Structure 1
Amino acid sequence: MSNPDVLIVGAGPVGLNLGLCLLKQGLSFRIIDKKSGPTTSSNAVGVNCRTMEVWESLGFIDEAIKRGLKVHGTSLYSDSELLNQVKFDLIESKHDFMLALPQAHTEKLLLEELAKNGITVDWEHELTSINQSPEGVTVAIKHNEKDDEFSYRWVVGCDGYRSSVRDLSGLTRACHDLPLHFLMVDAEVSGEISTSTVNILFHDKGMIFMIPMRDSIRVVVEISTDEEYKHLKTCEPDIFREIVAKRYPKINIGRVDWSSAFYIHECLADNYRNGRIFITGDASHTHSPMGGQGMNTGIQDTWNLAWKLGQVKRGEAADTFLDSYSLERRAIGHDVLERSGKLTTMATTTNPILKRLRNFGIHHLADWDIVRSKVANGLSQSNICYENSPLVKHDQVRKSGQLKYPEYQGNKWTLLALNDSKDQLPSYVQIVSVKQLPLHAHYCLIRPDGYTAMYANDITEILEYFRKNHFNLK
């Protein structure tokens, strides 16, 4: 039996999601992980609307929502005073909420979906070497103290911050650490706090960040400048309760299910591709957890990469088309890093003038729909349109206001046409008749990932688009 098309290294949410995306594209794959089994702690919690749109296309969004908790907004406080409550109702998606779903539950769900297709993870298998040629990638995988060689068409690193795929393939990244220190628990919480919104509580000695879940609440406390506690390297529940009681006595921390301490690393890979090797998720971008975009960005990396690998495997596009993965997703990674960094700086500032400006802005500007919409759609990643990509005519797309069509996500391109067009198009394009389109256009071309590619009035413009982007028109 020949080896699968793709080796996925890393069986966290990103690697498991890539497997499901590749299944949709008809590609074969193998997933390995050096760990002994799935994550048992909650880790990443927030699932945003764009990820939910991806999961809907993969067929298990209803089950995910059933297992999680819908969170409908953000409540912001300063010294126990409510500054504002910003709801998520302006998110441009039918999933206009955040889904609180602990990482262990996310992985369990993804593993179950893979198992329905007979796919399991090879645990305790460690990648030890990579060598690629024009024909494929040869890897050495260590299991039970023995190294064996295998060959694959492509290798994808979904193996996190300390990615072996990234390091062994020669891909590089730029990193720096933020001077911030946090303690974190999942606990039973009572008192004057909303259980239907994310809660951000500003305090002179450090912010407190809270995300409700079904069975507990994630509580994050900043101790970077707190002279009494900034030396702590671990998170002891009793000390954690003490910190919260001093800053916000209206909140009580009860049973603690899990605790951790962490610092913030900001990293971005210089390229997400080296020949037949790709990196995704934390292997390519790491940043502040403010905004909850880390896991979501990684999952959306896999959605972008999988349909492109499918088109190349099926001979519908040339290998050079795969360069668009790094081009598109690295720009998103850069934006997420900048946005989360700014949110973190705003939330943790000790400058009294900046604190007053922050609180004033939250209290007043957050009531404006235009501000609420921009913030909500940015954090939910529903406003992505790949505006700097050659695969998107971004001026048209921005003017149309229709950035994506999630209902047409799959492994085919979709051409919305004002008439029942019989034009000769490649077999990977499906034609859907509509009565009206934005910009008075006759055609709208939608990518397999649901994003709008372009509008046109003549079919020759569509064909030229495919030629220009290295597609096979035969």
Structure 2
Amino acid sequence: MNGPTATPATPTSPATPATSRVIVVGSGPTGLLLAGDLAAAGIPVTVLEKRPHGISNLSRAFVLHARALEQLDARAVADELEAVGKPLTRLNLFDGLTLDVGALPSRFRHVLVIPQYEVEKVLERRAVQAGVDFRYESEVTGLSQDADGVTVHVEGAEGDEDLRAAYVVGADGMRSAVRTAVGLPFPGRSAIRSVVLADVLLDEQPETLITAAAVGDAFAFLAPFGDGYHRVICWHRGRDVPDHEPVGLDEVREITRLALGRDFGMREARWVSRFHSDERQAPGYRVGRVFLAGDAAHVHTPAGGQGMNTGLQDAANLSWKLAAVLHGHAAPGLLDTYQAERHPVGRSVLRSSGAIVRLAMAKGWQLPVRSVLVAVLDRLAPVRARIMGQITGVGYRYPAPRGAHPLTGARVPDLALAGGGRLYEALRGGRFVLVTPGAYEAGEGRADRLAVAHWASDRGTTVLVRPDGYAAWAAEDARAADIESALAAHVG
């Protein structure tokens, strides 16, 4: 079968009628959150997935960080996941360097250890309830776009067909057919080769929820599934073999013993695999009416557990913008901010995850350098806080216009609101939230996309919070005319 092909955008449109539908390619966490958001906003959505229907337990992601949990809280599913996962309040990196997640400025002052498939279950159910059209065993083999929309060629179990949409989002992973179809390169390199991954039973339970260490040329990571099995990820510097090279439980045991001092009585592996970890990022997240999100846009080492979390935040950033444009509440230029806001974050994640894994696997002359660095970090609380903000996602902010209020572009934490509510509960309708110290009526024309709330404290700042929890605008002692101007610019 030939690879996906693309026809570049042309100034004229075909006879195919315009549509408001969005096609999302890929049903991982990124695609599911995005599709569910759009459907909940009243946008017709089709999800194309080349695999048969089913939630796989072979996922590699194992943690949810605070910022992703905040986004899930705004969709009323965080508490359900909290009940399933296990909280971890301290991240142990290397040479005794520990990050105290319990100090985060968030409702979620922990890392939630939870397999990716549990996240997918919840997000899939939400998407189905919102009315998303799922089409499994449907492979994208090409697309073309014009001034009015995108035509996607699909090969499915019942034959080939062309589907038409206003926009297409490729959330189809590292080997994205959508990215290939629009001709975007995926520059980067393999950071770690011959990583071994296995799901095993343990006769001895580890003392900590997540167990990880690097000794000499060996690294190993253990985390529980919650069903009795543990996920093992391990690597040995001296064993650089192709991904297709067979791997057995003896190899997993040996590397784990070298890194952790014992193998915890590993037995009954239900799955073993070998893979390589890449560091790559597409130069652009948008080509015309086609967008990339999650691993289709960026991949990096698993250090810090930032992969699934970054993809969920990509989806949260893009979904409300697509909905606003398709409903006619915002100009198409709003979609350009997806690249401007999310591409720098993806680049930062590549750097931070790469730095962690390189420091963890230091050897020779690098070891004393690492020890000095850890000693310095132990004494510099602001630097540790910045590192923690990057890993957990709460430290990122988006560009703001020159002269804007300092809050503009910043992540807004879960504010306590008058009447006993919380900001992220107010965000659950997918609307903007205006938090103001004084009275203000949203007006009937904006009631479906704007909620008005008031501070539980006596703070005098007025802040307009976007549906993804970032400040679109803020002002001190704002007048009604100032608020109206801001609403007209951002809410429509």
**Residue of structure 1 equivalent to 2:36:** 20
Q: 1:310 to 1:401 in 2, by over 3 A?
A: closer
State whether structure 2 residue 88 is matched by structure 1 residue 71. yes
Letter in 1 for 2:357: T
Indicate conservation of the 8 Å contact 1:136/1:153, yes or no: yes
CA–CA separation in structure 1 for the residues paired with 2:193 and 2:454? 54
Alignment of 1:333-344 (within 5 A): 333-344=346-357
Alignment of 1:275-294 (within 5 A): 275-294=288-307
State whether structure 2 residue 101 is matched by structure 1 residue 97. no
**Residue of structure 2 equivalent to 1:129:** 142
* 1:157 CA displacement: 0.6
Letter in 2 for 1:8: V
Letter in 1 for 2:86: L
Selected match of 1:235 from 243, 247, 260 = 247
CA–CA separation in structure 1 for the residues paired with 2:454 and 2:444? 15
Structure 1 vs Structure 2: percent identity of aligned residues? 27
Selected match of 2:270 from 257, 268, 293 = 257
Indicate conservation of the 8 Å contact 2:256/2:262, yes or no: no
Selected match of 2:49 from 13, 19, 33 = 33
* 1:453 CA displacement: 2.6
Q: Which moved more, 1:375-384 or 1:178-187?
A: 178-187
**Residue of structure 2 equivalent to 1:194:** 207
Indicate conservation of the 8 Å contact 1:68/1:213, yes or no: no
Letter in 1 for 2:472: A
**Residue of structure 1 equivalent to 2:455:** 434
**Residue of structure 2 equivalent to 1:53:** 70
Task: Describe the SS at the equivalent of 2:440.
Answer: coil
Task: Describe the SS at the equivalent of 1:445.
Answer: strand
Selected match of 1:416 from 435, 438, 444 = 435
Q: 1:265 to 1:250 in 2, by over 3 A?
A: closer
CA–CA separation in structure 2 for the residues paired with 1:35 and 1:393? 46
Q: Which moved more, 1:274-283 or 1:231-240?
A: 231-240
* 1:464 CA displacement: 5.0
Indicate conservation of the 8 Å contact 2:89/2:110, yes or no: yes
Task: Describe the SS at the equivalent of 1:135.
Answer: coil
Q: TM-score, normalised by structure 2?
A: 0.83
**Residue of structure 2 equivalent to 1:444:** 463
Indicate conservation of the 8 Å contact 2:193/2:240, yes or no: no
Indicate conservation of the 8 Å contact 2:196/2:275, yes or no: yes
Q: Which moved more, 1:326-335 or 1:3-12?
A: 3-12
**Residue of structure 1 equivalent to 2:174:** 161
Q: 1:412 to 1:43 in 2, by over 3 A?
A: same
Indicate conservation of the 8 Å contact 2:220/2:234, yes or no: yes
Indicate conservation of the 8 Å contact 2:214/2:260, yes or no: no
**Residue of structure 2 equivalent to 1:381:** 393
Q: 1:95 to 1:391 in 2, by over 3 A?
A: farther
Task: Describe the SS at the equivalent of 1:58.
Answer: coil
* 1:319 CA displacement: 0.7
State whether structure 2 residue 372 is matched by structure 1 residue 351. no
Instruction: Structure 1: state its 5+ residue gaps.
Output: none
* 1:28 CA displacement: 1.6
Letter in 1 for 2:455: V
Q: 1:192 to 1:154 in 2, by over 3 A?
A: closer
Indicate conservation of the 8 Å contact 1:70/1:97, yes or no: yes
Superposition RMSD in Å = 3.0
* 1:315 CA displacement: 1.4
* 1:450 CA displacement: 1.2
* 1:158 CA displacement: 0.7
Once the two structures are superposed, residues 399-446 of structure 1 have per-residue CA deviations (whole angstroms, 9 ceiling, x without a partner) of x995675524243222222211358797144332336576xx542221
CA–CA separation in structure 1 for the residues paired with 2:156 and 2:411? 51
* 1:77 CA displacement: 5.8
Task: Describe the SS at the equivalent of 1:89.
Answer: helix
Indicate conservation of the 8 Å contact 2:411/2:469, yes or no: no
Indicate conservation of the 8 Å contact 2:235/2:255, yes or no: no
Letter in 1 for 2:451: Q
* 1:16 CA displacement: 1.3
Instruction: Structure 2: state its 5+ residue gaps.
Output: 1-16, 416-422
* 1:105 CA displacement: 2.7
Q: Which moved more, 1:326-335 or 1:421-430?
A: 421-430
CA–CA separation in structure 1 for the residues paired with 2:458 and 2:472? 14
* 1:20 CA displacement: 1.5
CA–CA separation in structure 1 for the residues paired with 2:405 and 2:387? 21
State whether structure 2 residue 256 is matched by structure 1 residue 244. yes
Task: Describe the SS at the equivalent of 1:140.
Answer: strand
Q: 1:423 to 1:217 in 2, by over 3 A?
A: closer
Indicate conservation of the 8 Å contact 1:76/1:199, yes or no: no
CA–CA separation in structure 2 for the residues paired with 1:76 and 1:331? 24
Once the two structures are superposed, residues 346-385 of structure 1 have per-residue CA deviations (whole angstroms, 9 ceiling, x without a partner) of 1112233x32232454467447644443333221111222
CA–CA separation in structure 2 for the residues paired with 1:28 and 1:66? 31
Once the two structures are superposed, residues 81-104 of structure 1 have per-residue CA deviations (whole angstroms, 9 ceiling, x without a partner) of xx3544320122111122222223
Indicate conservation of the 8 Å contact 1:385/1:452, yes or no: no
* 1:134 CA displacement: 1.7
Q: 1:413 to 1:248 in 2, by over 3 A?
A: closer
Selected match of 1:309 from 306, 322, 325 = 322
Q: 1:394 to 1:241 in 2, by over 3 A?
A: farther
Selected match of 1:321 from 305, 313, 334 = 334
Q: 1:211 to 1:372 in 2, by over 3 A?
A: farther
CA–CA separation in structure 2 for the residues paired with 1:148 and 1:359? 59
Indicate conservation of the 8 Å contact 2:396/2:411, yes or no: no
Q: 1:412 to 1:77 in 2, by over 3 A?
A: closer
Task: Describe the SS at the equivalent of 1:187.
Answer: strand
Q: 1:443 to 1:107 in 2, by over 3 A?
A: closer
Selected match of 1:109 from 111, 122, 142 = 122
Task: Describe the SS at the equivalent of 1:42.
Answer: coil
Once the two structures are superposed, residues 67-118 of structure 1 have per-residue CA deviations (whole angstroms, 9 ceiling, x without a partner) of 222222223566xxxx354432012211112222222332223222333345
* 1:456 CA displacement: 1.4
